[in-house]
Amino acid sequence: MSTPPTMLHPELLARHDGDAILRDGRRLDHAEAASKPLRSRPEPQPRGAKIHGNRPVDQAEAAACFIAAPEHEKMHDERLWDLRQKRDREMHGIAEWEELRSLASAIKEHTLTHLDEYLEQFEAKARANGIHVHWARDAADHNRIVHGILNDHGAKSLIKSKSMLTEECGFRAYMASVGIEVIETDLGERIQQLDNEDPSHIVVPAVHKLRTDVAAVFSKTIGTDPDNSDVHYLAEAQRETTRPLILAADAGMTGCNFAVAETGTFVVCTNEGNADLSANVPKLHIASIGIEKIVPRLEHLAVFVRLLSRSALGSPVTQYTSHFRGPREGGEMHVVLVDNGRSERLGMEEFWTSLKCIRCGACMNTCPVYRRSGGLSYGATYSGPIGLIIDPTFNARKYSNLPFASSLNGSCSNVCPVKINIHEQIYAWRRELVKQHEVPLAKKAAMKAAGELLSRPAAYRAAIATADVALAHLPRFVIYNGLNAWGRHREVPHSPNQTFHSWHKANRGEKS
Amino acid sequence: MRDNFDAIEQTAEVKEVRARTFELIEFLHDIQKVEAFPWARFPHRVGLHNSCGTLRRLKHARPSELHEPFFSKPMDLLTKVEGIEFVTPARPDECCGFGGTFSVFEEVVSTKMGYDKVSDHARAGAEYIVSADSSCLMHQQGCAERIGVPLKFIHIAQILNGASA
């Protein structure tokens, strides 16, 4: 899915500058006549987390870089908050919203606890519909299977719609390594592909970019005017250059939002209609489907389709909700059912319900940390709250810092349309990572010291008293220095005239 | 205490203490059912800050994400204080960024959230931010002072107890 034009942040729209337009419509751009500088240099786009192999991703560092780019941070925060507000408005339009959430959660939990049966049912029905069904144990399996299908058809180019599963599988990089050209057809995803960057959000993949960033990418890749960052101009230029590639492609690929066991059919939701292009223009259609995407019956779609786009973008429904039922005449349809760690996750007592996720991104839109950090700061396929609880299942060491990138405010769990207790799982992951010795020493030492202080009342009171006296008398440079993470960007607390303990002792006697 | 104090042996005494531990607002609102604070007068414009723990865990109020009827226990209590006036920030229940260890492990994001929070209250015209959570207040005060937002901070207990300013 990507964003319809009405949802563009004002920052993304071209500024109307009537004074600087000549009568023939050309921009007045020579310095003497214009009262403003020719153009100010746009703020460079902050890039995401630095990845060093298997070493823990430093989300905090990357987030600080994002905040150091105030135009990007402000646009990102406001734009996603706008989506959250639109979601709230849609929610208030549906009296049975909370019942829908409970129902969606119950359907998903039921399905996940009977996953084997529903998957086999789906496979049988899909085969009966004339769909080829493949099973992939992991990312490598998935990529090999798709490569094999493409080879069988001599396909050299593939158009695809957005799919987080293929991101998970490192699919584009693999295809590049075997010499098959992949063309993303979702506008946001295409921008990210041309910029050689991962999607920063699971629904709006280029949401962290200003229109000036897009102009820079397009000018380098598809030859647009680097100084023209008008959204319609850029979108049109992309369309013009991509359409011929779409029309000439040998094969098409989509992801899947819901796969229906009783019918052996699947549903893809988009706002641009690009999944339909990808699936219907070439004769060969391959769909990558995570095994958790199954719902038992067609009627269950009614619950999820009502929740999905309202939660994601605050729109009542996606522009296109396409049902794929089988190959068209003379065509072929393949489905690859991918596990890639899902079975293992299903066996994790505290974390299996993360598989209920329908990838709407509502938790990201509401997350105050995500909005101020940018999705690329997480250095992982899944960012934001849902990423914090899924990523460590892929690599506990590499993503060991992520569960700490949360204030545990709980807003994510409240907006989740399938009621995943996201913030409780974030907390559970912190404990789990400590158990697995994947928490950096500095973090552990700080927590241990605090724990010891807090468990000894006398020591705690003495420390408070000492600190209060110290803070009141020490010179500023002693309190505020690089070692004081509290005081780098905020003032330290004022010392009270009296602590509650000393007041209580004086006013309520010894018995307490 | 009630929800998470499970690391030590759960003796009868521990269970007793856990069951009888209440947060101040719920104690005044649900147990004592205080009807009036005749001694309290606070003629100021205040922005109410519900901490995430009291809002989403202890359920002091209806969080904005849920489709449920509005209620707010701290607001119920504060409206009984003479002269008090409430202002509503644009994002009334967004986290202020304290978050315990988060405030030091992710200090840049944490303080940015704090700056945004106090600016939001200031834009709404608040003189005071009032909260039932001293850690949120401590963090927000530190943020406000650093960026020069002229707000004052006060614990809800102080207002209910008759503090004048």
Total number of domains constituting chain B: 1
Reported as type and span, the H/E element at residue A400 is: none
Distance CA(A456)–CA(A27), nearest Å, equals: 71
Residues of B in contact with A447 (CB under 8 A): 101
* Beta-carbon separation of A491 and B106 below 8 A: no
If one counts every other C-beta atom within 10 angstroms of the C-beta of residue A265, the result is: 20
Give chain A's residues under pLDDT 70: 1-39, 453, 509-512
Q: pLDDT per residue over A407-455, tens digit each?
A: 999 999 999 999 999 999 999 999 999 988 877 777 777 777 777 767 7
Question: Taking CB atoms and an 8 Å cutoff, what residues of chain A touch B101?
Answer: 404, 443, 446-447, 450
| B124 CA: distance to closest CA in chain A (Å) | 17
Question: Looking at beta carbons, which residues of chain B come within 8 Å of A88?
Answer: 64-65
Look at residue B45 and tell me if it is in a domain: yes
Please give the pLDDT value at position A21. 45
pLDDT in the model for residue A18 = 40
Residues of chain A contacting residue B141, judged by C-beta atoms under 8 Å apart = 491, 493-494
> Cβ contacts (< 8 Å) between B114 and chain A: which residues?
490
Q: Do A415 and B113 touch (CB under 8 A)?
A: no
Could you tell me if residue B154 is inside a domain? yes
Q: Note the pLDDT of residue A307.
A: 98
Angle at A473 between CA A471 and CA A477, to 5 degrees: 75
Instruction: Identify the pLDDT of residue A324.
Output: 97
Residue B122 sits in a domain whose CATH number is 3.40.50.1860
Q: Do B52 and A408 touch (CB under 8 A)?
A: yes
Residues of A in contact with B146 (CB under 8 A): 489-491
Interface predicted TM-score (ipTM) = 0.94
B-chain residues near A488 (CB < 8 A)? 107, 111
pLDDT tens for chain B, 165 residues: list them.
787 788 888 999 999 989 899 999 999 999 999 999 999 999 999 999 999 999 999 999 999 999 999 999 999 999 999 999 999 999 999 999 999 889 988 999 999 999 999 999 999 999 999 999 999 999 999 999 999 999 999 999 999 999 886
Break chain A down into helix, strand, coil percent, rounded to 5.
Answer: 50, 10, 40
DSSP A138: S
Q: Is B105 helix (H, G, I), strand (E, B) or coil?
A: helix
Q: What is the per-residue pLDDT for A384?
A: 97
Residues of A in contact with B100 (CB under 8 A): 407-408
Establish if A103 touches chain B: CB-CB under 8 angstroms. Answer: no
* Cβ count near A382 (within 10 Å): 25
- Rounded to a whole number, what is the distance in Å from the CA of B128 to chain A's nearest CA? 16
In a domain, B43, yes or no: yes
What gap in Å lies between CA B98 and CA B115, rounded to an integer? 11
Contact criterion met (CB < 8 Å) for B108 and A67:
yes
Three-state DSSP state, A82: helix
Quote the tokens at residue A191: 């921008």
CB contact under 8 A, B107 and A491: no
Which residues are registered as beta bridge partners of A336?
A: A134, A288
B143·A490 Cβ contact <8 A = yes
pLDDT at A39: 57
Mean pLDDT of chain A: 89
**A5-9+99-342 topology per CATH:** Rossmann fold (3.40.50)
> Does a structural domain hold residue B21?
no
Q: Which two tokens stand for residue A96?
A: 């049975």
Q: Which amino acid is at A160?
A: K
pLDDT at A245: 95
Domain definitions of chain A by residue range: 5-9+99-342, 457-508
Nearest residue, CB atoms, A409 vs list B52, B68, B146: B52
Position of tokens 């280029």?
Answer: A206
Structure tokens of A496? 């009270």
Question: In this complex, do A405 and B95 lie within 8 Å of one another by their Cβ atoms?
Answer: no
Is residue B140 a part of any domain in this protein?
Answer: yes
Cβ burial of A66 (10 Å; 0-12, 13-18, 19+) is: buried
- Quote the CA–CA distance of B109 and B79 in Å, as a whole number: 34
Q: What is the pLDDT of residues A217-271, one digit of tens each?
A: 999 999 999 999 999 999 999 999 999 999 999 999 999 999 999 999 999 999 9
pLDDT for residue A24: 52
* Structural domain span for residue B113: 35-160
Mutate one of A407, A411, A494, A498 to test the B interface: name it (highest B CB count within 10 A).
A407
Task: Report yes or no: A440 at the B interface, CB cutoff 8 Å.
Answer: no
CB of A75 less than 8 A from some CB of B: no
CA atoms within 13 A on the CB side of A9: 22
Q: Which helix (H) or strand (E) holds A137?
A: none
Does residue B121 sit within a domain?
yes
Q: How far is A260 from chain B (nearest CA, A)?
A: 29
